Amino acid sequence: MKFLDEAKIHVRSGRGGAGAVSFRREKFIEYGGPDGGDGGRGGDVIVEAVENLNTLIDFRYQQHFKAEIGMHGMGRNRTGRSGNSITIKVPVGTQILEEDRETLIVDMLEPGQTFVLCRGGDGGRGNTHFKSSTNQAPRRAEEGWPNEEMSVWLRLKLIADAGLVGLPNAGKSTFLAASSSARPKIADYPFTTLHPQLGVVEIDDHEFVLADIPGLIEGASEGKGIGTRFLGHIERCEVLLHLIDCADEDPVGTYRTVREELEGYADILIDKPEVVALSKADQLLPEMVEEQREILEKGIGKKVFIVSGATQQGVKEVHRELRRHIIGERERRAMEGREDEGFQP
């Protein structure tokens, strides 16, 4: 399945059906009178978030979605049939933006969440509604109410608990493969990963979702390399795992390069908790790896883990550290929510 995280679609709800102008004409009925029915309501365009999708590729082949119009009313006070609504299924984490690609309409964050994007028009009233003591035979009925029509952008931001960042070939895909059942493409050249990959990590009877995005290079925020296009997929993560090749000649400089590109994209990524690790530890002697760790810890002032996806060295330890941050961030947000509701501890 191809990965697509942005798509433009055009949606249109159904207009309402017109009311009917009709009169009773049964034989032997002394007094007839109006009996025109109302028009049917037009169908809505509804968006629904579903769990079993992780790409917008379907919208490459279908961009136009139209709900059914309402049928007109009929005699004998028969109301026209309402038009069928149409439901557009999108992955959880999809944002719906106006045509300017900036104004957010709705963020589909929960499985089963629905949103009426375009509301169908109401049906017009038949001439029965216009009967009065001074107008016994009205020849007036309403047209159906108009539909709604718009073009919107769909932008997918994957729902993951932890995100992998680093330069190309920092060992992110290898770490993901060692952590989960995901099988990303792994090769010894930069930009092997061309689109985000997700994997489910199991640790101590718990699970969390880990996202691997294409590597960043210096100038990515200005469009170099693949740029920062895929950084939106880790905006929702609770914690970032920053991997640096243990054979890097300047690990401190590499760390700062990636941090600068994250900051150039959005401050929200800089403020997230971060776990730093030297990867590919199996490619150097243990004493050399330890020396690199000391240099990096001194340069950035943070604890540095040592991992190897090939030998599983340090992988579980990093998983536990990531899970600790995930739990901490969820508890912090829950407490903030309770305080917003007026809860006093």
Residues that constitute the known binding site: 166-173, 191-195, 212-215, 279-282, 308-310
The three state secondary structure string of the chain is CCCCCEEEEEEECCCCCCCCCCECCCCCCCCCCECCCCCCCCCCEEEEEECCCCCCHHHHCCCEEECCCCCCCECCCECCCCCCCEEEEEECCEEEECCCCCCEEEEECCCCCEEEEECCCCCCCCHHHHCCCCCCCCCCCCCCCCCCEEEEEEEECCCCCEEEECCCCCCHHHHHHHHCCCCCCCCCCCCCCCCCEEEEEEECCEEEEEEECCCCCCCHHHCCCCCCHHHHHHCCCCEEEEEEECCCCCHHHHHHHHHHHHHHHCHHHHCCCEEEEEECHHHCCHHHHHHHHHHHHHHHCCCEEECECCCCECHHHHHHHHHHHHHHHHHHHHHHHHHHCCCCC
Residues that constitute the known binding site for Mg(2+): 173, 193
Residues that constitute the known binding site for GTP: 166-173, 191-195, 212-215, 279-282, 308-310
